[in-house]
Chain A
Amino acid sequence: MSEQTSGHRTLAVRESSARADAPAAIEARDFNFYYGDFRALEQITMLAPRHQITALIGPSGAGKSTLLRAMNRMHDETPGVSSDGQLLLEGADINGFSDLIDLRKRVGMIFQRPNPFPMSIFDNVAYGLRLKSQGAKKGVIAEQVEQALRGAAIWDEVKDKLQQSGLALSGGQQQRLCIARAIAVEPEVLLMDEPCAALDPIATLKIEELMGELEERYTIVIVTHNLQQAGRVSDQTVFLSMNPETRAGFVVEVGPTQQIFTNPKDDRTLAYISGRFG
């Protein structure tokens, strides 16, 4: 960790070993997104390198969630939305995927509020597996469930109560259960929309530690309001802001987290970061 003094507070920025030239898992090029006539995202260009953590930061309403949800086409359920420009998963146009199910298996999502299904812990994690391979043998599913729970660092806490409801867990455990559920189907990318917003500091810390482990196997894109968190966990940072007149979100600056936090190129980034820490 290197330390930088900004205002009166000290900000820990993670020393990233990530290579800046790693191939992009997700990339946007001049990507625009519209809710009806309202342009929520304008000419977004950014990339999320493979097996790194990319943080989307910026003020409320800048379109962070909108961008994140475009990456696995959660918007498809909302009537009246459209987009143009390019949004790519491993070079393939995300909006060109004919098989939405395939896309979503490759790009998993963790939500702001932990949302386990009202069913047992086991069934929660097995949910995606059962969708994928209906003919799978019971023993095999059990193995994959265990692996996913271990991967989400929650196995030891729940191994004796797999048949209990997932809703009986604490908030932090629920969120890790949701991560287990998402990684059970072995995605390439994990999208996280403020995954710790509803959690207390200890639970948050556990999720952050977990993200560090997950990074080895998955590409992570995380939206966070918490700049300290972005500094602690991410390799790359994308700073989005909002056009005050049109309210469209646009990218101010993209770069390695360390550079964005210690030596931003754009004054607006500096203002935002020192404003939020000052």
Chain B
Amino acid sequence: MNSDTREILATKDVAWERRIMAARRRATLIDRAMTGVMSLAALFLVIVLSGVIFIILRAGLPAISWTFLTTASSITDPGGGIGPQIWVTMYILVLSLAIVTPIGVGAAIYLSEYARPGPITNAIRFSTEALASVPSVVFGVFGAIVFLTIMNLGFSVLSGSLTLALLNLPLMVRIAEDAIRAVPTAYREASLALGGSRWETIRKAVLPSALPGIITALVLTGGRIIGETAPLILTTGTTISPNAQYSLNPLQTGETLAVHIWVLKIVGVPGLQDAQLVADGSAAVLLLIVLIINVGMAYFTNRLTQRLRGASGAPRAGGSKKG
């Protein structure tokens, strides 16, 4: 420090300067600490996911073989498989999504494109939020009353799929609505200005841009459908009739993989020596199915976005680049 600076410093309020410097140092420190905490929290997520994958696969992979994946289960002798359970799981997944997607996306379109603010819209929104927080087992009881008793569908894949469709409707609506709302107004205006009708604008300009978000909704919903147990136990049952394995009949009873695990682990199957191993194997298969769906859909969405937005994928409409 040369004498000039010292002089200047001396003329200023030295204590004040020091306080500012100290505050700044503190701010920097807090900044660093918080960055550390946040990245630890983020890292924790990765660790949890890796942990889940590692532990579940280590326990379950030894059980998995081609026979395991393709043969029927046995409640008496070891060596049974989970083929029919995989079938029922996929069947319910597809059927529920087929029911929930059109209704959910339709409601989302209504809420984002047509609904004017007012008591009706508020009521719809409130119902959606409320439904989203109803425990799944309550949906199970509801499904049992409505589909099994009143509509007389019995314990069946159809009853279960309908129940899960209702259960997932709020989530579907909310994510799809967000995706549709996120589509820039500029696309809507461009389409309308070209003489597009309201519906043409939604179908040809808005929905294609919202597709990646809607696919996310499908994946999240699908994950929940695959993993659900309580409502299915009450609506599809816990057995697969030996003469209805791999059946397309929606009125058959069913048992998904998740329910199968629950039966083996919690209810127990007396006398079945390899029950634990089969349960662990089932869990591993379940996890693999979810992972494959996630990775597959992420890949598909990426490709789609790239095709829509151009090779680099990144730049949005705008004039930042040279003309």
Which residues of A does B touch, CB under 8 Å? 72, 74, 77, 79, 101-102, 104-105, 108-109, 111, 113-119, 127-128, 130-132, 164-175, 178, 181-182, 185, 198-200, 202-204, 206
Contact = CB atoms under 8 A, between A and B. Distances in A.
A105 B194 CA distance: 6
B322 A168 contact: no
Given A104-B195, A182-B194, A206-B323, A127 B311 contact: no
B189 A101 contact: no
Interface residues of B, number: 34
Nearest to A168: B310
Given A114-B317, A117-B187, A167-B309, A182 B322 contact: no
Contacts of B322: 170-172, 200, 202-203
A130 B208 CA distance: 16
B319 A172 contact: yes
Given A115-B186, A118-B209, A198-B319, A164 B195 contact: no
B310 A119 contact: no
A130 B322 CA distance: 31
Contacts of B309: 118, 165, 167-168
Contacts of A109: 189, 193
16 contacts: A101-B196, A111-B193, A113-B186, A118-B309, A127-B191, A127-B194, A130-B204, A131-B194, A131-B200, A131-B204, A164-B310, A170-B322, A171-B319, A171-B322, A174-B317, A200-B323
B205 interface: yes
A116 B323 contact: no
Given A102-B195, A119-B208, A182-B193, A175 B319 contact: yes
Nearest to B315: A167
B189 A74 contact: yes
A contact face: mostly helix, strand, loop, or mixed: helix
Interface string B303-319: 00001111110011111
A105 B191 CA distance: 11
B25 interface: no
A202 B321 CA distance: 11
Interface string B182-200: 0010111111111111001
B320 interface: yes
Given A74-B192, A74-B193, A131-B200, A202 B310 contact: no
A168 B317 CA distance: 9
Contact of A171 (B196, B208, B209, B320): B320
A248 to B, nearest CB: 25
Contacts of A114: 317-319
Contacts, number: 127
A101 B195 contact: yes
A82 B12 CA distance: 63
B190 A117 contact: yes
Contacts of A172: 319, 322-323
Interface of B: 116, 184, 186-197, 200, 204-205, 208-209, 307-312, 315-323
Q: Which 10 residue pairs across A and B have the least CB separation, nearest first? A: A172-B323, A203-B323, A168-B310, A171-B319, A198-B319, A165-B310, A115-B186, A118-B308, A128-B194, A109-B193
A116 B204 contact: no
A104 B201 CA distance: 13
A104 B319 contact: no
B193 A108 contact: yes
A174 B318 CA distance: 8
Contact of B196 (A115, A131, A165): A131
A115 B187 contact: yes
A244 to B, nearest CB: 31
A168 B312 contact: yes
B189 A170 contact: no
- A114, A115, A171, most chain B CB atoms within 10 A: A115
Nearest to A73: B192
B195 A131 contact: yes
Nearest to B205: A117
A109 B191 CA distance: 10
Contact of A79 (B116, B190, B209): B116
A189 B195 CA distance: 13
A178 B190 CA distance: 9
A200 B187 CA distance: 23
Contacts of A132: 195
Contacts of B321: 170-171
B166 to A, nearest CB: 33
Contacts of A104: 192-195
Given A113-B318, A119-B308, A168-B309, A173 B323 contact: yes
A113 B319 contact: yes
B312 to A, nearest CB: 7
A171 B319 CA distance: 4
B192 A77 contact: yes
Contacts of A200: 319, 322-323
A206 B323 CA distance: 9
B182 to A, nearest CB: 12
